[in-house]
Amino acid sequence: MKLVIDNLSKTYANGVKALQNVSLEIPTGMFGLLGPNGAGKSTLMRTIATLQDADEGKILLGDINVQTNKHSLRKVLGYLPQQFGLYPKISAEMLLHHFAVLKGIAHAGERKELVGALLQKTNLYDARKRHLGGFSGGMKQRFGIAQALLNSPKLLIVDEPTAGLDPKERNRFHNLLSEIAENIIVVLSTHIVDDVRELCTQMAIINQGQVVLKGNPLKLMEGLQGKVYQKTINPSELKSYITHYNVINDKRFLGKPRIQIISDVPPGDGFLAIDTSLEAVYFSQINHQN
């Protein structure tokens, strides 16, 4: 099964072009949608999830036309939005049972077995009697995945799932997503480059509502190999270097700007060649478009 997005466009009432002719083909596995805040990622996720309509284009999940058959899509969709609320004084087990009833799992025995299995899968079984208000950020995210898996979805959408998680919880969440993506389509929307590098076999970079690059992360990195150079400069020189070189990134190192540039030929001038990274690929696209 594939998720096919064909020439999708969306303009809001205030004139913002949130999506501009977005086309993607997403197979089973983990697909990363990478872009800065405000790039259009959440708009695309909400449109796929039938929470809003596009102005133009179409979305197909297998033989389901998402725009004309929203009910069929929702039956096979799991969705973890960027922000979601939980009842703080209800236990994880009780709320998951409640969500299961809402999703049509009426038989008590079947529901108990499913809820227990999902709590085990998300490593929340030992905390199943605890109130959700006492959960950490990572535990709440894992509970969000548990509820998203109640209907055994064929498509799972997760929007900025690791933002704010500590390294341990982030790794635990990565392992969970990787396991889930072995059998279904998982679309991971994020602005965190490492999430895509560590998890995804296919990806796209979106900026200002447009897909600016797509492909396999390793192959995209290979395309920049031997073209990325680095140099530490004085703060007063930064503007001049931006004028004369294709500067894709600058960050402080021991108080001074350390810039990275892309050049097809060795630039000299004290620059040192460095191994490429997915971060360099990302910034080369985002900064080029901006």
Q: Which of 11-25, 90-104, 160-174 has the lowest mean pLDDT?
A: 160-174
| Residue 194's pLDDT band (cuts 50, 70, 90) | confident
pLDDT of residue 9: 97
Cα(165)–Cα(136) distance, rounded to whole angstroms?
9
120-166 pLDDT, tens digit each: 989 999 999 999 999 988 889 899 999 999 999 999 999 888 877 88
How many CA atoms, within 13 angstroms, populate the side-chain half-sphere of residue 121?
A: 19
263-273 pLDDT, tens digit each: 999 999 999 99
Domain range summary for the chain, segments of one domain joined by +: 3-86+135-215, 226-274
Cα(203)–Cα(83) distance, rounded to whole angstroms?
23
Share of the chain above pLDDT 90, in %: 73
- Taking every pair of Cα atoms in the chain, the longest distance, rounded to a whole number of angstroms, is 72
Q: What is the mean pLDDT of residues 83-111?
A: 89
Q: Return the structure tokens found at 197.
A: 């590098």
Cα angle: 67, vertex 201, 205; to 5 degrees: 60
Cα(248)–Cα(165) distance, rounded to whole angstroms?
27
Count other C-beta atoms under 10 Å from residue 67's C-beta: 16
pLDDT of residue 219: 94
Specify the CATH number for 3-86+135-215; select among 3.40.50.300, 1.20.120.530, 3.30.565.10, 3.40.50.10800. Answer: 3.40.50.300
Q: Which of 33-42, 166-175, 217-226 has the lowest mean pLDDT?
A: 166-175
Q: Return the structure tokens found at 35.
A: 């872009």
Residues 6 or more apart in contact with residue 127 via CB below 8 angstroms:
92, 135, 139
Closest CA to 235 of 216, 253, 247: 253
pLDDT of residue 56: 95
